[in-house]
Chains A and B, each alone.
Chain A
Amino acid sequence: GENVEQHPSTLSVQEGDSAVIKCTYSDSASNYFPWYKQELGKGPQLIIDIRSNVGEKKDQRIAVTLNKTAKHFSLHITETQPEDSAVYFCAASRRDSNYQLIWGAGTKLIIKP
């Protein structure tokens, strides 16, 4: 079955710097890769996603890149701000499995003032 590995488990960056979180997956049939942000005491929230027919997607300060050959995808956050502090989860899924998500273990992002 699918397995998703996420690194690093904790990432501390200076406010204004960029942050990169990386995930690898094992099932080459996976075709949908979302990223969720979980703030303290709240449920996860979808922030960006990418499908397997696209190599990169950007939404303001966040972007996701996908390398299908290497089976890895990454979340990039530029010009980090204090409100970016949260736990970020990557996931992989397939349309033919009703998009059941296989989750990464999460990355705690700390933005230092």
Chain B
Amino acid sequence: IAGITQAPTSQILAAGRRMTLRCTQDMRHNAMYWYRQDLGLGLRLIHYSNTAGTTGKGEVPDGYSVSRANTDDFPLTLASAVPSQTSVYFCASRGNGEPGYTFGSGTRLTVV
């Protein structure tokens, strides 16, 4: 089934640990995005990539890094997790020339 796969679905992480959230899409979309959604709030853009090999900073990039080595994968890394990074993380992609986003099911991350 075409779409976006995020892993893990949930994770409890000790503060100070490094963590990589995985995102893979099979739609050959050029653009990919990482959002965080805190409880009861809206979506905030962390990082984005308009095409493989390029990345950009969103609204809340501090403490996060991304890479885009190929079209399909867009991992998000927390170098040293802090409790304020407790959130639900959504990966999204957008087709070439198309404006609509496709979202994954999210990763629920708790930093303790």
Q: Report A's interface with B, CB cutoff 8 A.
A: 32, 34, 36, 41-46, 49, 89, 93, 95, 98-101, 103-106
Contacts and interface: CB of A to CB of B under 8 A. Distances in A.
A101 B44 CA distance: 10
B59 to A, nearest CB: 10
A44 B102 CA distance: 8
A45 B43 CA distance: 13
B100 A43 contact: no
Q: Is the interface of B mostly helix, strand, loop or mixed?
A: strand
Contacts of A106: 41-42
Contacts of A45: 103
Given A32-B99, A34-B99, A99-B99, A43 B104 contact: yes
Interface string B31-63: 100000000011101001010000000000000
Classify chain B's interface size. Answer: 10 to 19
A98 B31 contact: yes
B100 to A, nearest CB: 5
B105 interface: yes
Closest 6 CB pairs of A and B: A43-B103, A99-B99, A46-B100, A32-B99, A105-B42, A106-B42
B94 interface: yes
With most chain B CB atoms within 10 A of its CB, the pick from A42, A99, A104 is A99
Given A43-B106, A89-B43, 11 more contacts: A34-B100, A34-B101, A41-B106, A43-B90, A43-B104, A44-B90, A44-B103, A46-B100, A49-B99, A100-B48, A106-B41
A36 B99 CA distance: 13
Nearest to B106: A43
B108 to A, nearest CB: 9
With most chain A CB atoms within 10 A of its CB, the pick from B42, B90, B92 is B42
B105 A100 contact: no
